[in-house]
Amino acid sequence: MKDRFNLYRFASPATFYPLAGRLIPWFTALAVIFGLAGLWIGMLVAPTDFQQGEGYRIIFIHVPASWMSMFIYLVMAFWAAIGLAFNTRLSGMMAQALAPTGALMAFISLWTGALWGKPMWGAWWVWDARLTSELILLFLYIGYMALTAAIDDVRRADKAGGLMLLVGVVNVPIIYFSVKWWNTLHQGSSINLTKSSMATTMLWGMLLMALCFWMYSIAVALVRARSIMLERERHTDWAKALLTGDEK
């Protein structure tokens, strides 16, 4: 890790590839540990909610997934900005590697939201501001993936995708506030998701699950980045050496 501050060296795929390979098992292990601890607290330790019964326990998945879906989009936009500013090869690959995980998180968030909504609100779907924004976020992820998939030239795909991400990041707050405003106009007193003060154990459970999702996202993103990298760089010396020599 002595090269930590040398961005260009770190950003070179030949350095990144083996480094990522060494990191993946650690992140996977952490994801499993945090996940088990979080589930244990969430499912067994945390008290049953007096209003919502056992059904509320889905928030231990729902809330971390929503956080991650938003956070991953920001991270992708960060990589996009780096990529467009410094023209580094790694950034585009990272953004593309993160996209499916981000979309998955948005989808999980919507799905668990619907599962939770049915007993809570009596409907699978309500046009709640947060749920609607999450849906739009999923659309943005899908748009990004469709755009990068449609462009054959990887350089152009990275740049165009990056620009789309930045446009999205500028728009996400505007979309969020407009949806929120629209929602309050149309629903009057809307349903408030987090009105009860959360018990400390619940907070811990959620925190652990969030860490688990975080580690999981890093691990899968690294795996995906490694395969994207190998595919794109298969003509370079280091990739050839790797493919013909020992699989490290």
Partner 1 sequence: MLKIVTAVISRDLKLAMRRQADIVSALFFFIIVVSLFPLGIGPEPDLLRKLAPGVLWVAALLATMLSLPRLFADDHRDGTLEQLALSPYPLGLVVTGKVIAHWLVSGLPLALIAPVLGIQFDLSVDALLVLTGAILLGTPALSGIGAIGAALTLGLRGGGVLLSLLVLPLYIPVLIFGAGAVDATVAGLGGEGHLSLLAALTFASLGFAPWATAAALKIALE
Partner 2 sequence: MLEADNLECVRGERRLFAGLGFRLEAGELLYLQGKNGSGKTSLLRMLIGLLPPESGEIRWQGESIKTQADEFRANLCYLGHLNAIKEELTPLENLLAAARMADEILSEDDALDALEQVGLAGREDLACRYLSQGQKRRVALARLVKEKRPLWILDEPFVALDVAAVDWLAGIISGHLQRGGLAVMTTHQHVDIAAGAVRELRLS
The DSSP letter of residue 128 is: -
Chain centroid to Cα 29, Å, comes to: 19
Taking the least distance from each CB to partner 1, the nearer of 85 and 198 is 85
The C-alpha atoms of residue 158 and residue 94 are separated, in whole angstroms, by 10
The token duo for 100 is 């499916």
If the CB atoms of residues 19 and 136 are measured against partner 1, the closer one turns out to be: 136
What residue has token string 């060296």? 9
Q: Report the site for partner 2 in 206-245 (rule: CB under 8 A).
A: 235
User: Whole-angstrom Cα distance, residue 110 to residue 131?
Assistant: 7
The residues that bridge with 53 in the sheet, in sequence order, are 49
Least distance in angstroms from the C-beta of 84 to partner 2: 12
Cβ 161 to partner 1 shortest distance, Å: 9
Least CB distance to partner 1 at residue 70 (A): 15
CA 119: distance to chain centroid? 27
Nearest distance in Å: CB 155, partner 2: 8
Comparing CA positions, the residue from 100, 84, 10, 62 lying closest to residue 194 is 62
Burial of 205 (0-12, 13-18, 19+ CB in 10 A): buried
174 interface partner picked from partner 2, partner 1, none, CB below 5 to 8 A per type: partner 1
Place of tokens 């699978």: 124
Smaller CB separation from partner 1, 83 or 205 = 83
What whole-number distance in Å separates Cα of residue 229 and Cα of residue 84? Answer: 18
92 makes contact, choosing from partner 1, partner 2, none, with CB < 5 to 8 Å by partner type, with none
The 3-state DSSP class for residue 53 equals strand
Residues in contact with partner 1 by the rule CB under 8 A = 84, 136, 139-140, 142-143, 146-147, 150-151, 155-156, 159-160, 163-164, 166-168, 170-171, 174-175, 178-179, 181-182, 185
The partner in contact with residue 235, picked from partner 1, partner 2, none with C-beta cut-offs of 5 to 8 angstroms by kind, is partner 2
Selected binder of partner 2 within 153, 237, 246, 247 (CB under 8 A): 153
Q: Which does 167 bind (CB under 5 to 8 A by kind): partner 1, partner 2, none?
A: partner 1
Size of the site for partner 2 (CB under 8 A): 3
Nearest to partner 1 of 6, 87 (CB atom): 87
Minimum CB separation of residue 185 from partner 1 in Å reads 7
Q: What is the DSSP string of 24-49?
A: HHHHHHHHHHHHHHHHIIIIIISPPB
Least separation in angstroms between CB 143 and partner 1 = 4
Give contact residues for partner 2 (rule: CB under 8 A). Answer: 152-153, 235
